[in-house]
Amino acid sequence: MTALAVRDLHIRDLVGDREIVRGVSFELTPGKVVGIVGESGSGKTLTCRAALGILPEHFVVSAGSIEIGGRDIAGLSDAEWTGLRGSTISAVFQDPASYLNPSMRVGAQIAEVIRVKKRASRREARRRAVELLAAVHLRDPALVYEQYTYELSGGMLQRVLIAAAIAADPAVLIADEATTALDVIVQAEILDLLADLRARAGLALLVVSHDLAVIAQLCDEVLVLRDGEVVERGETADVLHEPRHEYTRLLISEHEQYGLDKYLEAVDV
């Protein structure tokens, strides 16, 4: 069963009167991780937002199709989207603090997702939220449950956000630059956590990053996007070891100075 199928996706900016994404296709099955890499402005985030039904105003899917769990999303009502988002497809972005309410305990925010999406009682939602905080490897989850965003580090907040994103057991999780703002060690821990969720829960992941090292560590398959077009795609190890397109080679050479070599060794095994 395909969890997310994006076929020949085109996204148009109606105000700028230009096509920003042109012909992006990929498929996610349970437990599969697809990465999209490309420089700033290449259309990575718009592709994610189209799959979540949250394109910014005046951007539209102008051609192609998106299916979530076999269902075409064209023409879904707002109520149908509310039913899908969080429960079937979910996302984490950069800057977790901006997605959490600063005046509410973080645990209560996760419990709220469980109460609404899983129709759980308050007591059950709280129990499950603490379990999720433990599942995202936060030490002392019962304490974290009671804390506010200002009391937590960026890495902890990203874990809280991941817990909220997986609270209703989605089939697909989109991680759009989810580790970009974190320092290297915390970034590696979050990538491990995502790999763990994929292995344990069969979560399908779409990982968007401008960082080839992140892609190398996590993805089975990678799409290289430039100016809204896929210039190269394939198994991650193949693309990174034997890039065919000049643009991919350029991205790799830019990354080599940041220590991509160790990740290339990692994907080799």
Residues that bind ligand ATP (CB under 6 A): 20, 38, 40-46, 56, 210
Query: Going by C-beta distance under 8 Å and a sequence separation of 6 or more, which residues neighbour residue 241?
Result: 264, 268
CB of 18 to ligand ATP, least distance (A): 9
As a three-state string, the secondary structure of 196-233 is HHHHHHCCEEEEEECCHHHHHHHCCEEEEEECCEEEEE
In the complex with ligand ATP, the residue whose CB is nearer, 20 or 193, is 20
CB of 190 to ligand ATP, least distance (A): 18
Complex with ligand ATP: residue 61 or 144, whichever CB lies closer: 61
From the centroid of its chain, how far is CA 84? Answer: 16
Give Cβ neighbours of residue 240 (< 8 Å, ≥ 6 apart).
212, 215, 216, 222, 252, 260, 264, 267
What is the H or E stretch that residue 22 is in?
A: strand 18-28
Q: How far is the CB of 216 from ligand ATP (least distance, A)?
A: 18
Q: Toward ligand ATP, which CB reaches closer, 46 or 125?
A: 46
Whole-number minimum distance, CB 245 to ligand ATP, in Å?
17
Nearest Cα residue to 239 out of 227, 258, 257, 255: 255
What tokens appear for 17 in the block?
A: 């009167």
Closer CB to ligand ATP, 42 or 149, in the complex? 42
Q: Is residue 92 classed as helix, strand or coil in its secondary structure?
A: strand
Q: Which is nearer to ligand ATP, 20 or 251 (CB)?
A: 20
* Least distance CB 174 / ligand ATP (angstroms): 12
